[in-house]
Copies of this chain bind each other. A is one copy, B any other.
Amino acid sequence: VSTSAEDRLRAAGHRVTPQRVAVLEALETLRHGTPDEIHAEVCRHHEINLSTVYRTLELLNEIGLVRHAHLSDRAPTYHSVSGHEHAHLVCRGCGASRSLTRQDLDLSALERSTGFAVDFGHLSVFGLCGECQR
């Protein structure tokens, strides 16, 4: 977990606790995860309560260190924003998911015409991949 993440926490007036650091570490390892999956990953190394995971993810989301998207119809999937911000392209058939950059999916026309600032990291595009279309 980069120092900048800890600075971002402190800058926003929050404390740097082992649990918060552990959640960020788990997200680096997993790349993506539901609250439950993140909890399980953290538990491989530390103790943490599931409620704390929820509260931590909410906080990290608020200060922009993580984003979440709905990759399945059930629990939301969180991912770290430490790398480049990315959206997801998910196949309903096989469940495969790949990252999209702003170059893959150009929203500038939409943003210009609507005046919206799109939350790219939250965006999930569902469909059927080439394989599954048959």
Contacts and interface: CB of A to CB of B under 8 A. Distances in A.
Interface of A: 68, 70, 73, 76, 89, 91-92, 98, 100, 104-107, 109-111, 113-119, 122-123, 125-130, 133
Q: How many copies does the complex hold?
A: 2
Contacts of A92: 119
A127 B133 contact: no
Which of A76, A98, A117 has its CB near the most chain B CB atoms (within 10 A)? A117
A110 B116 contact: no
A105 to B, nearest CB: 5
Given A123-B125, A126-B122, A114 B133 contact: no
A126 B117 contact: no
Contacts of A133: 117
A118 B109 contact: no
B116 A91 contact: yes
Contacts of A73: 68, 76
A127 B68 CA distance: 13
Given A89-B116, A118-B125, 16 more contacts: A73-B76, A89-B110, A92-B119, A104-B110, A104-B113, A105-B107, A105-B110, A110-B125, A111-B127, A115-B129, A115-B130, A116-B125, A116-B129, A116-B130, A119-B127, A123-B126
